[in-house]
């Protein structure tokens, strides 16, 4: 097994678009010839588009793009721009009257930094598509959907740290598997191998991490509130493996193990954690091997996102902190 750049996987194009001043953005993964798709929504506060059609029993078998955007529910507007960009190139599901691009997507909440009134829209969706078609650099950190991502928010933004977008891919013989992940979790981010805390609730005066799980236990008796609902981590796994729609859905579910191993806690009532799977169907493979590789590339993409993130709008990043756990 060797690491590759995710842009080396044929059949997919990757593009970011962002507004750095407003701290929001959009990331798109295009499959011009279509890709078999699945999805798994594990979080309790999701914001999604066109995910019902990915159910195994439903008609459409492939999609032409998946997008991940900031802006909370407003960011779903980016999907319309992506559809317009694909329609202009004659890409879509053939119907009697027109070709209809199939574009599922999901959003995360990033309205607390930058501007709460500037969100991904159809123009930003088209821009992300054009950047993908032009093979613009596909970077990790404060780009696309990760532009306004923040983690460790249980004690407020003054203790939070910068999240971001990350990508990671591997090749085993002819098989290629990769993930693009936006890290905007309620909890902390942990390296699952060293158990080192990379990002989360950070006391800037004491230069000390507080454990989100410890804060949760302290506040267990507090009155329920909505003050934590500013989260959600998203991801898309892409592969050249030959998968059915049912297998794609199951592997999307398995891929969430990558979130569970790196985000503590994960899949909470205030996270909308959603993972997609896209397959071009070129390589026959034992799906049990993918049951290992899917969460592996997800967890590695999470680590890439955090380590590449940079300070933004007063929110510090992994690169700015000293490591101590309280």
Peptide bond into 265 cis (omega under 30): yes
Q: How many CB atoms lie within 10 A of CB 14?
A: 25
Supply 119's token pair. 């969100």
Given the DSSP bridges, would you call strands 188-190 and 197-199 parallel, antiparallel or unpaired?
A: antiparallel
Give me the average pLDDT of each 10-residue run along the chain (326 residues): 96 98 97 96 88 89 96 96 96 90 96 93 97 95 97 84 97 97 92 92 81 73 54 94 96 96 84 92 94 98 97 93 62
pLDDT at 18: 98
CA count, 13 A, side-chain hemisphere, 200? 25
How do residues 296-316 score in pLDDT, each as one tens digit? 999 999 999 999 999 999 999
Selection from 239, 187, 241 nearest residue 210 by Cα: 187
Q: Which sequence spans correspond to the domains of the chain?
A: 2-320
CATH architecture, range 2-320: 4-Layer Sandwich (3.60)
- Residue 290, class by beta-carbon neighbours within 10 Å (0-12 exposed, 13-18 middle, 19+ buried)? buried
List Cα–Cα distances, 141 to 7, 210, 319, in angstroms: 16, 23, 11
Given the DSSP bridges, would you call strands 197-199 and 201-203 parallel, antiparallel or unpaired?
A: unpaired
pLDDT at 211: 78
């Amino acid at each position: 097994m060797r690491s590759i750049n995710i842009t080396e996987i044929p059949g997919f194009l990757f593009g970011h678009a962002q507004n750095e001043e407003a701290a929001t953005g959009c990331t798109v993964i295009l499959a011009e010839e279509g890709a078999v798709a699945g999805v798994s929504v594990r979080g309790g506060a999701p914001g999604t588009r066109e995910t019902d059609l990915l159910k195994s029993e439903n008609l459409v078998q492939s999609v032409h793009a998946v997008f991940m955007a900031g802006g909370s529910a407003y960011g779903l507007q980016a999907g319309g721009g992506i559809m317009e960009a694909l329609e202009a190139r004659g890409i879509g599901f053939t119907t009697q009257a027109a070709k209809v691009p199939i574009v599922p997507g999901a959003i995360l909440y990033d309205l607390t930094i930058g501007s709460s009134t500037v969100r991904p829209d159809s123009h930003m969706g088209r821009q992300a598509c054009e950047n993908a078609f032009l093979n613009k650099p596909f970077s990790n950190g404060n780009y696309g959907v990760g532009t306004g991502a923040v983690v460790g928010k249980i004690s407020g933004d003054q203790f939070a740290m910068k999240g971001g977008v990350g990508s990671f891919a591997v090749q085993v013989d002819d098989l290629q598997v990769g993930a693009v992940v936006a890290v905007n979790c309620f909890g902390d981010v942990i390296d699952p191998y060293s158990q080192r805390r990379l990002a989360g609730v950070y006391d800037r005066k004491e230069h000390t991490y507080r454990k989100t799980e410890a804060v949760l236990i302290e506040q267990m008796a507090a009155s329920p509130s909505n003050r934590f609902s500013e989260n959600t981590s998203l991801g898309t796994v892409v592969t050249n493996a030959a998968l059915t729609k049912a297998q794609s859905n199951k592997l999307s579910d398995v891929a969430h193990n990558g979130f569970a191993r790196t985000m503590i806690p994960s899949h909470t009532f205030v996270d909308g954690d959603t993972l997609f799977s896209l397959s071009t169907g070129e390589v026959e493979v034992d799906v049990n091997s993918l049951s290992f590789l899917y969460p592996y590339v997800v967890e590695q993409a999470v680590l890439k996102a955090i380590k590449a993130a940079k300070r933004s709008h007063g929110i510090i990043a992994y690169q700015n902190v000293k490591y101590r756990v309280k």
